Structure formats: structure tokens, C-alpha cells
Amino acid sequence: MPRSLGLIVAVSLGCLQAPAQQKQALAEDVFKNIQMFKGKPAARVIPAMDALTGLLGVQCTYCHVAREWDKDDKPQKQTARKMFEMIGYLNDTHFGGENKISCWTCHRGHGTPPKLPPDPQRLEQARMMIAIAPADEAKPAEQVFHKIHALTGVPANQLPGIMAYFSRALGVECTHCHVAGQWEQDTPAKQTARKMLSMVDATVKKFYGGSGPLGCPDCHQGNVKPQLLP
């Protein structure tokens, strides 16, 4: 990746004083095979790489070939570029350009985002609460329940499992989004949930072709609000 180790160290530490009439060195001026940092100051590259090792809990060689940093031999490097693109898409398209999503949001110091364990008890509680007559089980959810928006077309018998999944992902009870006894009533939390479902669906379609390893637990991990940074 570096063309000159001495130059990189100097740039990273801010030791080089460029003449006023010269532009600040860009990443592609100093490093080979730069893609995601193209057009950005070279001084940001090393600190960003150092931060990534902590956000993912890995060493540089997790994505790079040691001493041949510019090589694209490792699939993790391609994945990292895709993740940078996805983060940019999410923040720009769904959060008005604010930095609401970062590597830490999903990874939390792990190379692969941790998964929440199953919760059979929560699932059983949802099945008992959402009683569905046998004759209605195969019907689309909107034909059995009132005011179904994001889950139209889903078989009614899958709704308890989906609600239990949401509850586990956010670490909340049903009444976080719903009014007990008036389940069809809209609330701000329910409207936010619909917005998030639409965001997840759009992101999966854009980056995984419609089916991929992305869902509510990846960002929330049992918390109502995802963590941006440690």
C-alpha cells in the first residue's frame, strides 16, 4: 500500500508542511490501489485503518497481505469496501447524511457481527398472545389482522415468530410499539419500525440481491437504539 514508508509516517503524524500554494496530499497520491479513500486527505488513511482494527477486533492482516498492502488477494478486503459503501448509502439515503451507522454498529469488536441467541420462551409467548385460527394460518396477514403495512403477503401463521424476532432484536416487549388490546393502533414507535423495515429491505436488495445476512439484530443487538461508537 505505501510507496514510501517515511512519507506515510510523516503524513500520518502531520509532520509535512506543504507550501501554502500546494494542495494537501490525497490518499491516491501516497498509497497504491486506493478506492474508498480516493479524493480524501492522505493523512486520514492510517488513523482510519488503525480505528478499524479496534472496531472489528482484528489485525491489519485480516484484510491485507503483510508488506503488500495494495494487493486485493483477500476477500475480506473486498467485503470491507462493500461495507464502506453500504454505510455511506445508509447514512446518506436513510439518515439525511448524518453518521448514524458505523462499523461498530454491527461489529462491536468482532470480525463477524455477533448473533443474538434464540429465545424459545419469547417465541412461545408470542404464539400464545397472537392466537390464529387453523383456517386462517395460510391466509395473508392483512386478511387476518388489521392495519398490516410492512408485512403484507406474509402468511398469518408467521406473524408470531416475526413479532418475537423484533422483540428479541430490540430487547423490548410488544407494548414498545403496540397499545395493549388495541394492537392495530398506530404509535410513533410502530411507524419507526415500518421505516426501519423498509430500510433493511432496500439495503438487502441493493447489496445482497434481495436475500442476505442483514436484519434488526445486527444493528440493535438487544438494545432499543443501536450503538454508533464504543
Residues 15 and 97 in one domain: yes
Quick check: is 230 in a domain? no
Q: Specify the CATH number for the domain of residue 93.
A: 1.10.468.10
Judge whether 112 lies within some domain: no
pLDDT, position 228 = 82
**Which of 107, 133, 160 lies at the terminal end of a domain, its last residue?**
107
Task: List per-residue pLDDT tens for the chain, 230 residues long.
Answer: 444 333 333 344 344 444 545 689 999 999 999 999 999 999 999 999 999 999 999 999 999 999 999 999 999 999 999 999 999 999 999 999 999 999 999 999 999 999 989 999 999 999 999 989 999 999 999 999 999 999 999 999 999 999 999 999 999 999 999 999 899 999 999 999 999 999 999 999 999 998 888 999 999 999 999 988 88
d(CA 195, CA 189): 10
- In a shared domain, residues 56 and 150: no
- Is 115 inside any structural domain? no
User: Do 88 and 168 belong together in one domain?
Assistant: no
227 lies in some domain = no
Residues forming beta bridges with residue 31, ordered by sequence position: 2
159 and 75 co-located in one domain? no
Q: Are residues 103 and 138 in the same domain?
A: no
Same domain, yes or no, for 142 and 68? no
> For residue 228, is it within any domain?
no
Question: What is the total count of domains within the chain?
Answer: 2
pLDDT at 86: 97
Q: Is residue 46 part of a domain?
A: yes
Domain with 98 in it: 5-107
In this prediction, residue 21 carries a pLDDT of: 55
Quote the pLDDT of residue 4: 39
Q: Domain check: are 77 and 31 in the same one? A: yes
71 domain residue, yes or no: yes
Q: What is the 3-state secondary structure (H, E, C) of the chain?
A: CECCHHHHHHHHHCCCCCCCCCCCCEHHHHECCCCCCCCCEHHHHHHHHHHHHHHHCCCHHHCCECCECCCCCCHHHHHHHHHHHHHHHHHHHHCCCCCCCCHHHHHCCCCCCCCCCCCHHHHHHHHHHCCCCHHHCCCEHHHHCCCCCCCCCCEHHHHHHHHHHHHHHHCCCHHHCCECCECCCCCHHHHHHHHHHHHHHHHHHHHHCCCCCCCHHHHHCCCCCCCCCC
Looking at 107, 136, 164, the residue that finishes a domain is 107
Query: Are the beta carbons of 169 and 116 closer than 8 angstroms?
Result: yes
Is residue 124 located within the same domain as residue 172?
A: yes
Q: What is the C-alpha separation between 127 and 156, in angstroms, rounded?
A: 11
Question: Which domain-ending residue is among 107, 129, 158?
Answer: 107
Q: Is pTM beyond 0.85 here?
A: no
